[in-house]
Amino acid sequence: MKYTLLIDCNDKKGLVYKISKVLYENDFNIETQQEFVDKENNKFFFRAVISGEVDKDKLKQELLKEIPCGNIRIFKKRKKRLFLMATKEAHALGDILIKHYSGDLDIEILGVIANRENLKDLVEKFNIPFYFIPAEGKTRIEHENEMLKIIEPLNPDFIILAKFMRILTPNFVEKFPNKIINIHHSFLPAFIGANPYKQAYDRGVKIIGATAHFVNNNLDDGPIIEQDVIRVNHEMNWEEMREKGRDIEKIVLGRAIKLAIEDRIFVYGNKTIIL
Amino acid sequence: MKYTLLIDCNDKKGLVYKISKVLYENDFNIETQQEFVDKENNKFFFRAVISGEVDKDKLKQELLKEIPCGNIRIFKKRKKRLFLMATKEAHALGDILIKHYSGDLDIEILGVIANRENLKDLVEKFNIPFYFIPAEGKTRIEHENEMLKIIEPLNPDFIILAKFMRILTPNFVEKFPNKIINIHHSFLPAFIGANPYKQAYDRGVKIIGATAHFVNNNLDDGPIIEQDVIRVNHEMNWEEMREKGRDIEKIVLGRAIKLAIEDRIFVYGNKTIIL
Amino acid sequence: MKYTLLIDCNDKKGLVYKISKVLYENDFNIETQQEFVDKENNKFFFRAVISGEVDKDKLKQELLKEIPCGNIRIFKKRKKRLFLMATKEAHALGDILIKHYSGDLDIEILGVIANRENLKDLVEKFNIPFYFIPAEGKTRIEHENEMLKIIEPLNPDFIILAKFMRILTPNFVEKFPNKIINIHHSFLPAFIGANPYKQAYDRGVKIIGATAHFVNNNLDDGPIIEQDVIRVNHEMNWEEMREKGRDIEKIVLGRAIKLAIEDRIFVYGNKTIIL
Amino acid sequence: MKYTLLIDCNDKKGLVYKISKVLYENDFNIETQQEFVDKENNKFFFRAVISGEVDKDKLKQELLKEIPCGNIRIFKKRKKRLFLMATKEAHALGDILIKHYSGDLDIEILGVIANRENLKDLVEKFNIPFYFIPAEGKTRIEHENEMLKIIEPLNPDFIILAKFMRILTPNFVEKFPNKIINIHHSFLPAFIGANPYKQAYDRGVKIIGATAHFVNNNLDDGPIIEQDVIRVNHEMNWEEMREKGRDIEKIVLGRAIKLAIEDRIFVYGNKTIIL
């Protein structure tokens, strides 16, 4: 049996020793192991991919005996189940569809919700359920509840906002803590909010970027998972920046999804630790 | 009428003056204009996007009167017609399909040839003709001639090798001078030839790359159009490098296609000048 | 005689023709020429390096006859004269000193002012006048006036803030429009103000940057000349980010100085056009 | 007492457990710890910064009892002692001098040897011994022996080739295994040998780079420590590439030195593992 073992707790002497002792005595093989201590906050983070015969519940009991304070999570290795949300742009969604199709992203796609209808044809080419849920004439909460009725029963591991251009309220966000990943089309915290390419153009920056982050209750303010940038110059208007930025958006989102499905991301405060 | 005007010739004093005089006197509006002088070789390169009422043949005559030595090309702005070739990997081909679908690449795709059959389903989702032309049991020339029989009548503006993993002979290449664009999965001239990711892994590099180039008669040695790189480290085996590299491959190929369809690339000797 | 010719004016048809006509008829040789049209604002920008026998005042007259609206500047090629300001960090200042020493930056350094004394020894190693002007016990204006008494008589082409950690008031800034270049240790507009590395650490970004910009009357809000970035991760505390960032700061500042002394930067509104 | 503990040996189950057990039982505090298993070669690499009261020889004995096969190195934290070699370019050497001066590189510089004399003045500004050892009229071995007579008695931790433009023979190299760090002005393995910027220009690449590597007996073929790149284009001749490349050369060399003096680099075969 192969597991991913994630532990975070207050740091103290001997944690690695105690964890590796339990793994050794239960005859686990460690494929990879990383640990990190946040000294400012005295927090210990540990991730290992392990294989062995012992059941995961028993392993958890053994570990808790040695490190009682620990927040211990053990995941059996399996394909993660993702739900996607989009509006009308095809690049980020299309990149996930192609990576899923080719096996470059080893995921199950449960479905796609969009508040525009134009992506229906693309999604259905790949035999993935598409739900058109327009927002017009509904309150935010009504619109979200309509979407939740589809998503919640599916119990996805992660919800990916592949250029979903609406703000989610706490009503929605709080149901999926550290499970909603958004791609923002700027190098956060620069250019929060609407039309960041226009903002970047107006400010005359020489580099633009994209940011994948977990969604919390503050707009574009959740824990950052991954960022990347590209050069721009005075010759480009904001539409050209947007077009050039799309490649970075999809790449950054793809990397964040990869980290998420491999259970590599710890969230602590408003930051991520990636092991 | 909107045209792209491309001129290259030996440099001498007054070329910009003479060109702009002709454009001015024929009442052309210049949308963008760039010029470059290669001093080492005394060569002048000029590109302009112009609009006006005068016919392109008449404009060419007028220009030739002023700069008789000039290699003058005038293209009416139109959607370029591309033919794609692939083997079995979906990422580069899929990226072009999505960009074509969404309009991010304003091209016509005439068809896709592959020497494996697995991409047929993906290509046909997008209603694009797919031709499975296996190479087994054929000489190189026989295989190429079979492909040429499909491609030549279509007279494509460019042929894109979207991870076509076979070497083309002069028999094929010479029919499409500066029209075949390949994506090589390394930072050329490092790691020419087979399995560059394995080569990169074995050499222990800290950065890998991808290179889009025109195909000439020497393997991986044609004029470079675009390159980009990403960081790797000792933790990654060559399969992981390959996977991470795929994002760069498709991005670099996409940028090269963009430059090609906008008629921005001059080839001089074994180099490109991009205006 | 070699000149740099800079022109900016409202765009209209035939500008390149008229400029190149004057250059041609006055028998100028054009070494490099670039032009850019800002379509949003209908502005034309032109830069050329030219050589010929005609006097620069006569050339200006001739050009004004053809393009009366033009803001025309003609500089004889000469070593630019820079004045440097610093506080206590050695990296950005030291990089300029080394580049000046080795000839990589072809500049004259008129002197260095600092509001701390520790850099005196470094600067004087290179036989450059060092002025220690502490700010303690003085109003901002008093402090600035003391510095102006040294700088103004020297009439520098550019003033370089090589990590000068004080805010300049309009009293100072307005005397040197588009002549003061600052290096800010963040990827502006992210992390304006004090200790941007601490701000970046607190926000949990995965990339940090540096920004060289002209100084105007709003803190960290002047026209951006150049930016660059590097990756950081959760393992780095803010002091480590600062240390890693120093390399980027000095590189970005060095590039901006290079662009400035080659007369390549146009300022329009709050942006730069770099030709 | 603070130590850096480095272990490499054949991988087997329980290594982390056994190491952490020894550290725990000897009451060591672990500041940072990283480990890596090279699965292809079944090799285990471990680095920890630890503090405690136990003597390093005793700790080594205790560790050897648990992991007898281990190549165990324990370094007391101290300022590393570097010897520098250069030829005539100031940028890489100057950057080390400034970083040493400012404390950004916490090193002792034992001296500088150059085979040209022009850097003498720069080095002596910083009160560092400069040895001018010309190569003219000497065999390689004679020249090297003259340099070795100065370097060997100083027993440096690392020898830094800060653009030392001569090839070292096995006579020299074998005396300092994995202690000589060179900066090569290309993105290796592209452009091995003389004038890589000219080679890069001639090949028409769109990106150039720099590579810091340990020196072994094959030219430019030692284990790579760090690399970085910058964009170039058709407008730049090779001298401009060289000038732009200098910034990257010095940055990459500086990062490699940093990794070396922190005892972060393992060499295995022709690769580095950086923990």
Show contacts of D15-20: CB within 8 Å, 24+ apart.
D15/D44, D15/D46, D15/D67, D16/A16, D16/A20, D16/A30, D16/A33, D16/D46, D17/A17, D17/A20, D17/A21, D17/A23, D17/A24, D18/D66, D18/D67, D19/D46, D19/D48, D19/D63, D19/D66, D19/D67, D20/A14, D20/A16, D20/A17, D20/A20
What tokens appear for B194 in the block? Answer: 């087979």
Query: For B112-166, what is each residue's pLDDT tens digit?
Result: 999 999 999 999 999 999 999 999 999 999 999 999 999 999 999 999 999 999 9
Interface test with B, best of D41, D207, D231 (most B CBs within 10 A): D207
> Residue B162: what pLDDT?
98
Do residues A42 and A100 lie in contact, with contact meaning Cβ atoms separated by under 8 Å?
no
> Residue C193: what pLDDT?
84
Question: Is the CB of residue A227 less than 8 Å away from at least one CB of chain C?
Answer: yes
B-chain CB neighbours of A90 within 8 Å are 98, 101-102, 104
Question: Is the CB of residue C251 less than 8 Å away from at least one CB of chain D?
Answer: yes
Question: Is the CB of residue B46 less than 8 Å away from at least one CB of chain D?
Answer: no
Binary contact (D203, B39; C-beta < 8 A): no
Interface test with D, best of B46, B178, B186, B206 (most D CBs within 10 A): B206
| Closest by Cβ to C205, choosing from A207, A227, A273 | A227
What CA–CA distance (Å, rounded) separates B245 from B253?
12
What CA–CA distance (Å, rounded) separates C19 from C48?
10
Within 13 Å of residue A96, how many CA atoms lie on the same side as its CB? 33
Binary contact (C102, D125; C-beta < 8 A): no
The DSSP line for C248-265 is: HHHHHHHHHHHHHHTT-E
The average confidence (pLDDT) of chain A is: 95
Please name the residue of chain B whose CA is at the shortest distance from the CA of residue C29.
B13
B-chain CB neighbours of C29 within 8 Å are 13
Query: For B190-232, what is each residue's pLDDT tens digit?
Result: 898 889 999 999 999 999 999 999 998 877 789 999 999 999 9
Interface test with A, best of B104, B231, B255 (most A CBs within 10 A): B104
Do residues D229 and D187 lie in contact, with contact meaning Cβ atoms separated by under 8 Å?
yes
Using DSSP bridges, classify how beta strands D2-10 and D71-76 pair: parallel, antiparallel or unpaired. antiparallel
Query: For A163-209, what is each residue's pLDDT tens digit?
Result: 999 999 999 999 999 999 999 999 999 998 889 999 999 999 999 99
Question: Is the CB of residue C217 less than 8 Å away from at least one CB of chain B?
Answer: no
Three-class secondary structure of residue B245 per DSSP? helix
Binary contact (A274, C188; C-beta < 8 A): no
CB contact burial D29-54 (16+ within 10 A = b; e otherwise): ebeebbbbbbeeeebbbbbbbbebeb
Least Cα separation, residue C230 to chain A (angstroms): 10
What CA–CA distance (Å, rounded) separates B247 from B240?
12
Binary contact (D101, C89; C-beta < 8 A): no
What are the distances in angstroms from CA D195 to CA B219, B248, C104, D184?
Answer: 24, 28, 18, 10
What tokens appear for D250 in the block? Answer: 């010095």
With residue C151 as reference, give the H or E element that holds it.
helix C140-151
What are the distances in angstroms from CA B115 to CA B133, B146, C234?
Answer: 5, 11, 45
> Residue C220: what pLDDT?
79
Query: For B17-60, what is each residue's pLDDT tens digit?
Result: 999 999 999 999 999 999 999 999 999 999 999 999 999 999 99
Binary contact (A20, D14; C-beta < 8 A): yes
Binary contact (C102, D94; C-beta < 8 A): yes
Binary contact (B17, C34; C-beta < 8 A): no
How confident is residue D1, by pLDDT bands cut at 50, 70 and 90? Answer: confident
What tokens appear for A138 in the block? Answer: 């509904």
* Catalytic choice (B202, B220, B221, B247): B220
What CA–CA distance (Å, rounded) separates B141 from D10?
51
> Residue B271: what pLDDT?
96
What CA–CA distance (Å, rounded) separates B136 from B115?
9
Least Cα separation, residue B240 to chain D (angstroms): 13
Binary contact (D23, A34; C-beta < 8 A): no
Q: Could you list the pLDDT tens digit for every one of the 275 residues in chain C?
A: 899 999 999 999 999 999 999 999 999 999 999 999 999 999 999 999 999 999 999 999 999 999 987 799 999 989 999 999 999 999 999 999 999 999 999 999 999 999 999 999 999 999 999 999 999 999 999 999 999 999 999 999 999 999 999 999 999 999 999 999 999 999 989 998 889 999 999 999 999 999 999 998 877 789 999 999 999 999 999 999 999 999 999 999 999 999 999 999 999 999 999 99
* Catalytic choice (C95, C157, C220, C263): C220
Which CATH superfamily does the domain covering A2-76 fall into? ACT domain (3.30.70.260)
Question: Is the CB of residue A190 less than 8 Å away from at least one CB of chain C?
Answer: yes
Question: Is the CB of residue A228 less than 8 Å away from at least one CB of chain C?
Answer: yes
A153 DSSP assignment: G
Do residues A204 and A235 lie in contact, with contact meaning Cβ atoms separated by under 8 Å?
no
With residue C29 as reference, give the H or E element that holds it.
strand C29-38
The arithmetic mean of pLDDT across residues D195-203, rounded, is 93
How confident is residue D166, by pLDDT bands cut at 50, 70 and 90? Answer: very high
Binary contact (B234, D190; C-beta < 8 A): no
A265 DSSP assignment: E
Q: Tell me, yes or no, if D220 is annotated catalytic.
A: yes
What CA–CA distance (Å, rounded) separates A239 from A227?
21
Do residues C52 and C1 lie in contact, with contact meaning Cβ atoms separated by under 8 Å?
yes
Binary contact (C98, D89; C-beta < 8 A): no
| Closest by Cβ to C101, choosing from D122, D126, D246 | D122
Binary contact (D272, B234; C-beta < 8 A): yes
Binary contact (C24, B33; C-beta < 8 A): no
Question: Is the CB of residue D207 less than 8 Å away from at least one CB of chain A?
Answer: no
What tokens appear for B262 in the block? Answer: 């906008």
Q: Before D189, cis peptide (omega within 30)?
A: yes
- In the 3-class helix/strand/coil scheme, how is chain D assigned residue by residue? CEEEEEEEEECCCCHHHHHHHHHHHCCCEEEEEEEEEECCCCEEEEEEEEECCCCHHHHHHHHHHHCCCCEEEEEECCCEEEEEEECCCCHHHHHHHHHHHHCCCCEEEEEEEECCCCCHHHHHHCCCCEEECCCCCCCHHHHHHHHHHHHHHHCCCEEEECCCCCCCCHHHHCCCCCCEEEEECCCCCCCCCCCHHHHHHHHCCCEEEEEEEECCCCCCCCCEEEEEEEECCCCCCHHHHHHHHHHHHHHHHHHHHHHHHCCCEEEECCEEEEC
Do residues B47 and B264 lie in contact, with contact meaning Cβ atoms separated by under 8 Å?
yes
What ipTM describes this predicted complex? 0.95
* Catalytic choice (A55, A220, A221, A247): A220
| Closest by Cβ to A122, choosing from B90, B101, B104 | B101
All CATH 3.30.70.260 domain ranges in chain B, comma separated: 2-76
Three-class secondary structure of residue B196 per DSSP? helix
Structural fold of domain B80-274 = Rossmann fold (3.40.50)
What CA–CA distance (Å, rounded) separates B62 from C21?
18
Please name the residue of chain D whose CA is at the shortest distance from the CA of residue A33.
D35
> Residue D104: what pLDDT?
95
Total residues belonging to chain A: 275
- In the 3-class helix/strand/coil scheme, how is C61-76 assigned residue by residue? HHHHHHCCCCEEEEEE
What CA–CA distance (Å, rounded) separates B74 from B70?
12
Do residues A275 and A34 lie in contact, with contact meaning Cβ atoms separated by under 8 Å?
yes
Do residues B35 and B44 lie in contact, with contact meaning Cβ atoms separated by under 8 Å?
yes
Query: For D11-48, what is each residue's pLDDT tens digit?
Result: 999 999 999 999 999 999 999 999 999 999 999 999 99
Please name the residue of chain A whose CA is at the shortest distance from the CA of residue D12.
A29
Question: Is the CB of residue B204 less than 8 Å away from at least one CB of chain D?
Answer: yes
Question: Is the CB of residue B229 less than 8 Å away from at least one CB of chain C?
Answer: no
Question: Is the CB of residue C120 less than 8 Å away from at least one CB of chain D?
Answer: no
> Residue B106: what pLDDT?
96
Least Cα separation, residue C79 to chain D (angstroms): 18
Count of other CB atoms within 10 angstroms of residue D90: 23
Question: Is the CB of residue B14 less than 8 Å away from at least one CB of chain C?
Answer: yes
Task: Report the neighbours of A using a cutoff of 3 or more CB pairs below 8 angstroms.
Answer: B, C, D
What CA–CA distance (Å, rounded) separates B19 from B41?
21
Question: Would you say residue B89 has pLDDT above 90?
Answer: yes
What CA–CA distance (Å, rounded) separates A46 from D30?
14
Do residues A209 and A253 lie in contact, with contact meaning Cβ atoms separated by under 8 Å?
no
Question: Is the CB of residue A51 less than 8 Å away from at least one CB of chain D?
Answer: no
Size of interface C-D (CB pairs under 8 A): 47
Backbone angles phi, psi at D149, to 5 degrees: -60, -30
C-chain CB neighbours of B37 within 8 Å are 31-32
All CATH 3.40.50.170 domain ranges in chain A, comma separated: 80-274
Question: Is the CB of residue B54 less than 8 Å away from at least one CB of chain C?
Answer: no
What tokens appear for C226 in the block? Answer: 């150049």
Binary contact (C37, B35; C-beta < 8 A): no
What tokens appear for C272 in the block? Answer: 């730069």
Binary contact (D102, C91; C-beta < 8 A): yes
B positions 81-100 inside 8 Å of A (CB): 89-91, 94-95, 97-99
Do residues C92 and C183 lie in contact, with contact meaning Cβ atoms separated by under 8 Å?
yes
